[in-house]
Structure 1
Amino acid sequence: MLLLGSVWPTPSLDLAISVAVELITLLPLIVLVALMAGWLAVSAMAERFRGILNNRPWQAIFFAGLIGTVTPVCGIASVPLVAALLRQGVPIAAAMAFWLSSPITDPGMLLLTANILSWPFAIALLIAAMLLGLTAGAVMHGLCRWRPQAQWVREEILQDTAAPTCEGSTRSPFWTETLATFALVLRWLAFALTVEALVRTHLGEAGYSLLTNVDSLWAVPLAVGIGGPLYIEGYAALPLLRGLMDMGLTPGAAMAFLISGAAISFYAAMAVWSLMRPVIFGLYLALGIVGALVAGWATDIVVNLS
């Protein structure tokens, strides 16, 4: 994909250079995530979480949604933690609640949203993130109850990478898990950056101006369609949205843009794809899209009534 984008429609190395620069910039995060996975492999934290949450699915869903809402953990950074917990038997419904609530907001994002947009908008975003996480967890729990024998997680994720191998490797569990996670995150993050760069190149920033030129009813789904693929990091998106709202963008479309761009962005999506089977990945995308649409339309309705 990177090669194709570098020669079409006109030959240019700008695309490849931009992806390489982004990957190098994110390399410290990738290393930190890999080291986190290695630490989890030799610590008892995952086992403690499992003991608390495994027999209390609804408490696990609520706890995961709450933690996801108040902690600044991006999709890629959640890979080692979620993978370790899934290997320990923590309910997959809790993972789904965490994945859909965590990228949307955190304390820093809450304060910045309040200052750039408004406090009511920031609080509505916080509530939307929490409700989306809880709904996703409840849907996943119902699916697991309906098909309790189904395997939703990729087989290689459930395998203990720190276990002894047939080759008799003397590598410690810490380094085994660290190197495996480094390769996993690097592979999927490179793919996410490539896709994002291709979308930006061919659709361009002009796509955002379309949001101000449509009826409010259609502005929300258009914001979801643009906000996900043309994702701008949450902190950078706020000034853009303020400018678009000054040009006529509805608050609901702004809400849908923020939620879809965070919850189903390439970074978050690649984290889910790397751990889950395609059917759960599809469910995750559907929940994120529907959640963003509902939150956007509900915001516009409340604003119109007030």
Structure 2
Amino acid sequence: MADLTQNPTVSRQALRWIKTPWTVSAVLLLAVALLHPENIETVVLFAVNALLHTGRYILFAVLLLSYLKATGAETMVARAFEGREVRMILLAAVFGGLAPFCSCEVIPFIAGLLALGAPLSAVMAFWLSSPLIDPPTLLITAGALGWPFAFGKAVAAVGLGLFGGFAIKALMGRGVFANPLKQVQKSSCCGCGAPKLDSKPVWAFWREAERRQTFRAEFVTNGLFLLKWLALAYVLEALLVSYVPAETIAGIVGGEGVGTIAIAALVGMPAYLNSYVAPPLLAGLMEQGMSAGAAMAFMIAGAVSSIPAMAAVWSLVKPQVFATYLALGVSGAILSGILFQML
């Protein structure tokens, strides 16, 4: 103990290790083994089989994301912010779902666009749709909840971007948000470098040693990231299915009414699970009585209200823009859930 106290670096490293998804998964399984040893085999097999089922999606998603990063294709997103404002909003909402950015990596990208004079309406359209869907999330959602739900989420992401973009445009037309920015930041919260907006993609990335290294680094980093979070997700899903009575779930978010969908959205905001963990858990909830509309509202509200996404908004814009971002996210989540339930 004295050594750990005298060596704060070791203490910090130990704390980071304890807080990893791997450790949480191991602790949860150990608890089941100690408290209910007769159930440990069922829980482990459920989690392993679910992870293997999603494995092909993980592999494809990681390869795709690594390729986009190595080629520099994310710079193409910047083209969505050129031209007329209405056109910018439309393209920004679509490209928001295609951009391979994490919630904190988008900070310098958004800051650069605002500094270059891109209208807040188009930036908000991108900002709202970007946390909801990207190629890896689309594939993982399809693996856990099926392609209809994955496509529904993708459509909802674009729809929320359009809803937010045109709402901001209308407000700005009345003189609101004349000066939305705080102080422009130059680096992201996780150390990711800002994309170079004036560079061009190099599709044959393997011809350059630096890009090959980028591909390898992204493949390993994203592969481990997805694997650890999905492993935790499926362990949690296995525990949910095994220990939470179906009538409890159905009583809270069951049914098909508008009220249930609104409750799911409001619960989803503080109870955020990242886009890689949420689909497997929602699959378990839906098996126990959660409606499809409530699941969609829960997922969308949670993604918009994630700590990285909210930190991105708060770090760049003034409080009234931040409040509008959250209001648009919640109302858009409820509306998406209602429409998805109807369809």
**Following the alignment from structure 1 to structure 2, what is the Cα–Cα distance between the partners of residues 71 and 116?**
22
Query: 2:150 aligns to what?
Result: 122
- TM-score between the two structures when normalised by the length of structure 2: 0.58
Query: 1:277 aligns to what?
Result: 318
1:267 aligns with 2:308: yes
Contact kept? 1:211, 1:219, Cα under 8 Å = no
Contact kept? 2:249, 2:288, Cα under 8 Å = no
Pick aligned residue for 1:292 from 333, 337, 342: 333
Pick aligned residue for 1:257 from 291, 298, 305: 298
Query: 1:227 aligns to what?
Result: 268
**Following the alignment from structure 1 to structure 2, what is the Cα–Cα distance between the partners of residues 149 and 274?**
16
Query: 2:250 aligns to what?
Result: 212
1:72: Cα distance to partner? 2.9
- Offset from partner CA, 1:147-167 (integer Å, 9 cap, x none): 17821111x22xxx8xxxxxx
Show structure 1 runs of 5+ residues with no match. Answer: 1-12, 23-44, 162-176, 187-204
1:237 aligns with 2:275: no
1:137: Cα distance to partner? 0.7
**Following the alignment from structure 1 to structure 2, what is the Cα–Cα distance between the partners of residues 207 and 74?**
32
Cα–Cα, structure 1 residues 230 and 114, in superposed 2: closer, same or farther, change >3 Å? same
**Following the alignment from structure 1 to structure 2, what is the Cα–Cα distance between the partners of residues 259 and 19?**
30
**Following the alignment from structure 2 to structure 1, what is the Cα–Cα distance between the partners of residues 15 and 190?**
20
Contact kept? 1:49, 1:90, Cα under 8 Å = no
Q: What is the correspondence of 1:86-101 to structure 2 with a 5 Å cutoff?
A: 86-101=114-129
1:94: Cα distance to partner? 1.4
Deviates most, 52-61 or 78-87: 52-61
Pick aligned residue for 1:113 from 133, 141, 147: 141
Contact kept? 1:68, 1:101, Cα under 8 Å = yes
Deviates most, 109-118 or 283-292: 109-118
- TM-score between the two structures when normalised by the length of structure 1: 0.65
- Offset from partner CA, 1:200-246 (integer Å, 9 cap, x none): xxxxx999986431352232122212212111111111111111111
Q: Secondary structure at the match of 1:234?
A: coil
**Following the alignment from structure 1 to structure 2, what is the Cα–Cα distance between the partners of residues 248 and 100?**
29
Query: 2:70 aligns to what?
Result: none
Q: Secondary structure at the match of 1:224?
A: helix
Query: 2:94 aligns to what?
Result: 66
Cα–Cα, structure 1 residues 299 and 55, in superposed 2: closer, same or farther, change >3 Å? closer
Cα–Cα, structure 1 residues 289 and 207, in superposed 2: closer, same or farther, change >3 Å? farther
Q: What is the aligned residue count?
A: 224
Amino acid at match of 2:339: A
1:301: Cα distance to partner? 2.0
Moved over 4 A (4+): 16-22, 205-211
1:112: Cα distance to partner? 2.1
Q: Secondary structure at the match of 2:301?
A: helix
1:115: Cα distance to partner? 2.3
Query: 2:106 aligns to what?
Result: 78
Amino acid at match of 1:295: S
1:54: Cα distance to partner? 5.3
Contact kept? 1:229, 1:266, Cα under 8 Å = no
1:75: Cα distance to partner? 2.0
Contact kept? 1:99, 1:263, Cα under 8 Å = no
**Following the alignment from structure 2 to structure 1, what is the Cα–Cα distance between the partners of residues 177 and 332?**
28
**Following the alignment from structure 1 to structure 2, what is the Cα–Cα distance between the partners of residues 152 and 207?**
45
Pick aligned residue for 2:162 from 134, 153, 162: 134
- Offset from partner CA, 1:240-264 (integer Å, 9 cap, x none): 1111111011001110111011122
Q: What is the correspondence of 1:154-193 to structure 2 with a 5 Å cutoff?
A: 154=182, 156-157=183-184, 177=186, 181=187
CA RMSD of the aligned region, Å? 3.2
**Following the alignment from structure 1 to structure 2, what is the Cα–Cα distance between the partners of residues 236 and 49?**
29
1:111: Cα distance to partner? 2.1
The sequence identity of aligned pairs, in percent, is 36
1:185: Cα distance to partner? 6.1
Task: Name the larger-Rg structure.
Answer: 2
